[in-house]
Chain A
Amino acid sequence: MNILSMQNIRKSFGETEVLKDISLSVSEGQVTAVIGPSGSGKSTLLRCATLLETIDGGSIRYLDMEAAREEDGRAKYASPAVLKQVRACFGLVFQNFNLFPHFSVLRNVTDAPIHVAGRSRAEAEEEARVLLRRMGLEEKAGAYPGQLSGGQQQRVAIARALAMNPKMLFFDEPTSALDPELTAEVLKVIRALAEEKMTMVIVTHEMNFARLVADHVIFMDGGVIVEQGGPEIIDNPTQERTRAFLNKLEK
């Protein structure tokens, strides 16, 4: 079953066309890695999928909900009520964490479950503690984000996203702001989620990681999907542009 399906997505910033007729679907339990050079549109694609940017044309569906549909050559978004339900389908982990600095770690994780999802404080806190334990951060519940390392902050951000029980998670270059040693601890957590069959879309520059966890790899360049397939395309790309990009990374 497809959790997300995006069809013929078009998006421009002013005169610049960033996404040119992109289609993508994500089925349950699948891990999709999106790779490509900077400026290829992969982050924009993610921001459109998470409704942080509006698309100009195309359609976006989550499960049986239509977030945006094509009408007279333009994208038309659903009502705020529907979009609210749509947002409950996914979580997003940002490159620079975006934790709330004035909330403790525990409150970062419990605030949305309590005030958005309407769960009781006791229930939300119990779940948060379970999540923080899984992230290896149970003793940091009372700390503030500014007191944590980047890797710890990113793991809190993952816990915060998971606390809303999303059907799928998006990661926007989750380790790009981290030192190599901190990168490892975050990748480990994401890998554990993949083993539990969490549906994920990950924009990443970590090729080894993509090779290891992804079921599906999408290579983007210049606003289009140049090539996609199993993780083997990382080692055996069929397209010249993919090859050029991967070669450049190795150097």
Chain B
Amino acid sequence: MNLTTMVTMLLGGMGKSILIYFLTLLGALPLGLLVAFGRMSKVRPLQLAVKFYISVMRGTPLMLQLMVVFYGPFYLFKIPTGSGYRFAAVIIGFIINYAAYFAEIYRGGIESIPKGQREAAQVLGYSRPRTFLTIILPQMVKRILPATTNEMITLVKDTSLAFAISYSEMFTLAKKIASSHTTLMPFVVAGVFYYVFNFLVAFVMERCEKRLSYYQ
């Protein structure tokens, strides 16, 4: 098997990996903010429930979580899941896991803003939503960018965990080709793919940091 055929075979998988990546970010970045609000809530039961959710998401393997999301509905609740569910399970699993990590990053960012910022806004008459959106959030984003970049880079590599439920993203395909053709080449191609992907992510995030460096 020559390299071109192999890359062509892997191409579809790459597309799927990229899709998992962006759909996860699309879901987890905003969901993380909601989770962070829950975690900081003054309503004690809500706060504790969210704390428990975060602790489970961070304390158990993502691979296991993917399996629970995929097999759980049928084995636990006897809900039949169609063939389309495999992809949905991957996305749901990644989103609820990453939302927990993002939530803690957001919380750290929000709590690091000096309380004088809120007080200045309050005395000037800003509403609470306006204070959050125009005063707190922009300053928070700047502070959490490096930590968020870390998570975004880990996510690129974590997309390969979808192989646990046999979703045919890039890594699953590479493994299949490698064992059927007894060659390591697919793994080399996979490695290059993840590296280049992450290089681009790091590049884009660095640009974002530069754009926000107009103030201290």
Interface residues of A (CB under 8 A from B): 50-52, 84, 87-88, 90-92, 94, 96, 98-102, 111-112, 115-117, 144-147, 160-161, 164
For A52, list chain B residues within 8 Å (CB): 119, 122-123
Give the complex CA separation of A196 and B126 in angstroms.
28
Q: List 17 A-B contacts (CB under 8 A).
A: A52-B119, A52-B122, A92-B123, A94-B116, A94-B119, A94-B120, A98-B114, A98-B116, A100-B117, A101-B215, A102-B138, A102-B142, A112-B126, A115-B126, A116-B125, A144-B214, A161-B124
Give the complex CA separation of A90 and B122 in angstroms.
12
Q: Which of A84, A96, A101, A145 contacts B125 (CB 8 A)?
A: A84
Give the complex CA separation of A91 and B124 in angstroms.
7
Interface of B is mostly: helix
Interface residues of B (CB under 8 A from A): 114, 116-117, 119-126, 130, 134-135, 138-139, 142, 214-216
Contact of B125 with A88 in the complex, beta carbons under 8 Å: yes
For B124, give the chain A residue with the smallest CB separation.
A112
Give the complex CA separation of A51 and B135 in angstroms.
20
For A94, list chain B residues within 8 Å (CB): 116, 119-120
Closest CB-CB distance, B84 to chain A, in whole Å? 44
Contact of B120 with A146 in the complex, beta carbons under 8 Å: no
- A99-B120, A112-B124 known; 18 new pairs, CB 8 Å cut-off, are A50-B123, A51-B122, A52-B123, A91-B123, A91-B124, A96-B116, A98-B120, A100-B121, A101-B139, A101-B215, A111-B134, A115-B126, A115-B130, A144-B214, A144-B216, A146-B215, A147-B216, A164-B125
For A94, give the chain B residue with the smallest CB separation.
B116
Across the A-B interface, give the 5 residue pairs with the lowest CB-CB distance, nearest first: A146-B216, A98-B116, A98-B120, A112-B124, A116-B125
For B130, list chain A residues within 8 Å (CB): 115
With A144-B214, A144-B215 as contacts: A98 and B125 at CB distance below 8 Å: no
For B114, list chain A residues within 8 Å (CB): 98
For A100, list chain B residues within 8 Å (CB): 117, 120-121, 135
For A146, list chain B residues within 8 Å (CB): 215-216
For B125, list chain A residues within 8 Å (CB): 84, 87-88, 112, 116-117, 164
Give the complex CA separation of A146 and B130 in angstroms.
23
Closest CB-CB distance, A102 to chain B, in whole Å? 5
For A115, list chain B residues within 8 Å (CB): 126, 130, 134
Closest CB-CB distance, B142 to chain A, in whole Å? 7
Closest CB-CB distance, A169 to chain B, in whole Å? 11
For A145, give the chain B residue with the smallest CB separation.
B215
Give the complex CA separation of A116 and B135 in angstroms.
14
Closest CB-CB distance, A82 to chain B, in whole Å? 13
With A98-B117, A115-B130 as contacts: A87 and B123 at CB distance below 8 Å: yes
Contact of B215 with A102 in the complex, beta carbons under 8 Å: yes
For A111, list chain B residues within 8 Å (CB): 134
Contact of B119 with A98 in the complex, beta carbons under 8 Å: yes
Give the complex CA separation of A157 and B2 in angstroms.
69
For A85, give the chain B residue with the smallest CB separation.
B125
Closest CB-CB distance, B157 to chain A, in whole Å? 33
Give the complex CA separation of A91 and B122 in angstroms.
11
For B216, give the chain A residue with the smallest CB separation.
A146
For A90, give the chain B residue with the smallest CB separation.
B123
For A101, list chain B residues within 8 Å (CB): 139, 215-216
Contact of B124 with A164 in the complex, beta carbons under 8 Å: yes
Closest CB-CB distance, A64 to chain B, in whole Å? 19
- Pick the most buried of B125, B138, B139: most chain A CB atoms within 10 A of its CB: B125
Closest CB-CB distance, A12 to chain B, in whole Å? 20
Closest CB-CB distance, A200 to chain B, in whole Å? 15
Give the complex CA separation of A198 and B161 in angstroms.
67
